[in-house]
Amino acid sequence: MPEKEPTSPVSFIKGLILEDLKTNKYAGRVHTRFPPEPNGYLHIGHAKSICLNFTLAAEFGGLCNLRFDDTNPSREEVEYVDSIKEDVRWLGFDWADREFYASDYFEKLYLFAVKLIGKGKAYVDDQNAEQIRESRGTLTLAGRESPYRNRSVNENLDLFERMRAGEFPDGSRVLRARIDMASSNLNMRDPVMYRILHAQHHRTGNRWCIYPMYDFAHGQCDSIEGITHSICTLEFEDHRPLYDWFLDEIEIYHPRQIEFARLNLSHTVMSKRKLLELVREGHVTGWDDPRMPTLSGLRRRGYTAESVRNFCERIGVAKRDSMVDTALLEHCLREDLNKKALRVMAVLRPLRLVIDNYPDGQVEELDAMNNPEDPAGGTRKVPFSKVLYIEQEDFLEAPPKKFYRLAPGREVRLRYAYFVKCVGVVKDDITGKVVEVHCIYDPATKGGDSPDRRKVMATLHWVSAGHAVPAEVRLYEHLFTKADPAQEEEGLDFKSRLNPTSLEILRSCKLEPSLAGASRGSHYQFERLGYFCVDTKDSEPGKSVFNRTVTLRDEWAKIRRTEQETATARQKTQAPPVETTATIEDFSKLDLRVGVVREASLVKGADKLLKLGVDIGEGRTRQIFAGIRAFYPEPEKLLGRTVLVVANLKPRQMKFGVSEGMILAGTGEGRLGVVTFEGDLLPGDKVS
């Protein structure tokens, strides 16, 4: 019995366990298991199950086994068992020496089957898959009994032995339980127990050519391991009568199956099939792409095991289908990282700031706190000089009402440094963009305090230009634009909801020098920006790559967002559609990128469109629809061509799919050509 009643709200599962403990059903034991099939990587949904099984056992002083459900050699691989073990370990759970495989029990399972045959409860069926399906009946109609259902025990025994011996080809026969072809539960209509599969198994090699089905394996494996509570997801509820039937008929120790609702997370997908599809089709870079909900993806993104565990505890366990908001996961992450992450300064989109009255060549080493949440975290030195970088978005020439960062004539604090006041700007002759900000500083405010109690509206982060460490930073957003991308409507599948801006790569970031030796996987807070970690795969000593794990909560971004929303809402309700003409000023806002055409094809049902796959250096190809078919009747001729892409357009939903950009083209006298050029420009290079 547990020493104390659990303090957190008792989940219905705990309630059932408490009940069993009270009636002494399992002699006071609680023993669970986490039973993954090694056919894919673990995701956050599995984490829910792992946490549930391991913590439940621990709470009641019991154990939890790790058991691989490897009953189907045709789709399972060692790569997956290795990744699964790594992920469970990373999450912080220990299965000690209790690492089991369903394949460990193949011999025992075979004997159980023989026993059922002996009792007249199982038979060898010579029908093929087609015939079995056809005779199973429907949801409302009973099935038909197989013509082989009443074979003698001896004949069944002989046939089953010969199935094992390899006398028959794949699919020619199966072993079936003899239950009830008229059952309203389809799982009870003589389910298949064994199928013939001449396949190499990752553990048993060629020793077997018949393999048990899930239903015939799972309960018996639980039984063999002495599992008390076999916790699984809702879709197995219908299988419970079968789970119970096998155990009762085989007459062995009987665990209890309990079902709970699997986790759904907003803005992502959780099914292995869909995740595999994203990997195979290159929408992500792999199972561990930081945008994936896989544990390896979350880990690479910078999630901590503690935050994932905490999340799993907070979402609770119940039986109703639900969709948890990703915001909760992010909240758990920030909560954890806020305590742990060292604060540093990094500028993602640099804007030069020159302090006119600061002595040329002077460098000061200023003290900065490593973590204000943890006074014991100490301080470090950060170099300060005349020329600095600040964030582009921290300066606005014409600041709107609620913007209280730097602007002409305005004074702000540079964190840990000085108050500076903007006295001028330098603009690009052609674009008119501000490329440099000039300030004067107040030497009396060294460290960031003003002796005269003068207040500033904002504190900015900065990096000394002469000391900056260059870095690449990858910004991530939700993988999908819709909360529930799996919900199919209007014939659109989940991939049409992929977020075209789920990854943005910034290549000219400037870091404070203390980050020069940051080791792979370490977490930092870039002050005012978010939490970042050193990429475990692509970061090299001289060329560091950081992943944005999650942003900080951002009031200013929220203000902008709501203002934008009300503006577009207003537009929708009143503004009549206007002809828009691009002005030269508007052109400066276009993000023109060099792209290489990787795919090009005709669009069925659209006589003007071509569908292009264009690489603009984002690690994936963008899908772009262009109305240039009349001029490029043979789209394959565009393959490999370098084109000019407008990259910052809002993705447009078209009848045939989402178009994520526009290709620049020129016209002249009934002819049209896309703008192409030669030269050593790389995909993603910016063009102006």
Partner RNA sequence: UGGGGUGUCGUCAAGCGGUAAGACACGGGCCUUUGGAGCCCGCAUUCGGAGGUUCGAAUCCUCCCACCCCAGCCA
**By CB under 7 A, what part of segment 261-290 binds RNA?**
261, 266
A 10 A CB-CB count for 9 gives: 7
| Least Å from the CB of residue 139 to RNA | 4
C-beta of 445 vs 621, nearer to RNA? 445
Which of 299, 300, 528, 620 forms a contact with RNA (CB under 7 A)?
Answer: 528
Please say whether the beta carbons of 45 and 275 come within 8 A. Answer: no
| Least Å from the CB of residue 90 to RNA | 22
Binding positions for RNA, 53-82, rule CB under 7 A:
69, 71-72, 75
Which of 7, 23, 138, 581 forms a contact with RNA (CB under 7 A)?
Answer: 138
**30: which residues sit within 8 A by CB, 6+ positions away?**
17, 21, 56, 57, 60, 61, 62, 228, 229
Binding positions for RNA, 536-565, rule CB under 7 A:
552-556, 558-559, 562
C-beta of 287 vs 418, nearer to RNA? 418
How far apart CA 312 and CA 292 sit, in angstroms, is 17
| Least Å from the CB of residue 253 to RNA | 20
Structural element, H or E, at residue 246: helix 240-250
Tell me the catalytic residues: 37, 262, 272
Applying CB under 7 A, the site for RNA has a residue count of 92
C-beta of 94 vs 554, nearer to RNA? 554
| Least Å from the CB of residue 186 to RNA | 4
Of 136-144, 467-475, 500-508, 613-621, the window that binds RNA (rule: CB under 7 A) is 136-144
Binding positions for RNA, 457-486, rule CB under 7 A:
458-459
Of 7-15, 200-208, 285-293, 601-609, the window that binds RNA (rule: CB under 7 A) is 7-15
Q: How far is CA 523 from CA 89, 141, 282, 310, in A?
A: 20, 59, 28, 18
State the pairing for strand pair 411-414/459-460.
Answer: parallel
C-beta of 133 vs 543, nearer to RNA? 133
How far apart CA 120 and CA 124 sit, in angstroms, is 11
Does position 681 interact with RNA (CB under 7 A)? The reply is no
How far apart CA 11 and CA 478 sit, in angstroms, is 30
Which of 33, 48, 254, 334 forms a contact with RNA (CB under 7 A)?
Answer: 334
Please say whether the beta carbons of 623 and 613 come within 8 A. Answer: yes
Rg value, the chain, Cα = 32
Which of 85, 203, 331, 482 forms a contact with RNA (CB under 7 A)?
Answer: 331
Does position 203 interact with RNA (CB under 7 A)? The reply is no
Q: Is 572 helix (H, G, I), strand (E, B) or coil?
A: helix
How far apart CA 234 and CA 173 sit, in angstroms, is 31
Among residues 43, 619, 647, the alpha carbon closest in space to that of 295 is found at: 43
Does position 196 interact with RNA (CB under 7 A)? The reply is yes
**400: which residues sit within 8 A by CB, 6+ positions away?**
none
Does position 204 interact with RNA (CB under 7 A)? The reply is no
Binding positions for RNA, 116-135, rule CB under 7 A:
127-129, 132-133
Of 93-101, 213-221, 494-502, 589-597, the window that binds RNA (rule: CB under 7 A) is 213-221
C-beta of 526 vs 625, nearer to RNA? 526
Does position 372 interact with RNA (CB under 7 A)? The reply is yes
- Side chain identity, residue 114: V
Binding positions for RNA, 585-614, rule CB under 7 A:
none
| Least Å from the CB of residue 527 to RNA | 4
Does position 237 interact with RNA (CB under 7 A)? The reply is yes
Does position 200 interact with RNA (CB under 7 A)? The reply is no
| Least Å from the CB of residue 328 to RNA | 4
Does position 16 interact with RNA (CB under 7 A)? The reply is no
- Side chain identity, residue 605: G
Which of 213, 250, 594, 624 forms a contact with RNA (CB under 7 A)?
Answer: 213
How far apart CA 572 and CA 593 sit, in angstroms, is 31
Binding positions for RNA, 152-171, rule CB under 7 A:
170-171
Classify the phi-psi angles of 190: left when phi > 0, otherwise alpha if psi is within -120 to 50, otherwise beta. left
Please say whether the beta carbons of 101 and 67 come within 8 A. Answer: yes
Please say whether the beta carbons of 214 and 71 come within 8 A. Answer: yes
C-beta of 263 vs 498, nearer to RNA? 263
Among residues 274, 268, 281, 273, the alpha carbon closest in space to that of 623 is found at: 281
| Least Å from the CB of residue 500 to RNA | 23
| Least Å from the CB of residue 148 to RNA | 11
Does position 494 interact with RNA (CB under 7 A)? The reply is no
| Least Å from the CB of residue 469 to RNA | 19
Which of 404, 521, 564, 607 forms a contact with RNA (CB under 7 A)?
Answer: 404
Does position 348 interact with RNA (CB under 7 A)? The reply is no
| Least Å from the CB of residue 401 to RNA | 9
Burial status of residue 512 (CB atoms within 10 A of its CB: 0-12, 13-18, 19 or more): buried
Termini Cα distance of the chain: 72
Does position 88 interact with RNA (CB under 7 A)? The reply is no
For residue 276, the Cα-to-chain-centroid distance in whole angstroms is: 12
How far apart CA 173 and CA 169 sit, in angstroms, is 8
**596: which residues sit within 8 A by CB, 6+ positions away?**
614, 615, 640, 641, 642, 643, 683
Does position 428 interact with RNA (CB under 7 A)? The reply is no
Does position 363 interact with RNA (CB under 7 A)? The reply is no
* 214-224 vs 106-118: helix crossing angle, rounded to 10: 110
Which of 114, 324, 434, 492 forms a contact with RNA (CB under 7 A)?
Answer: 324
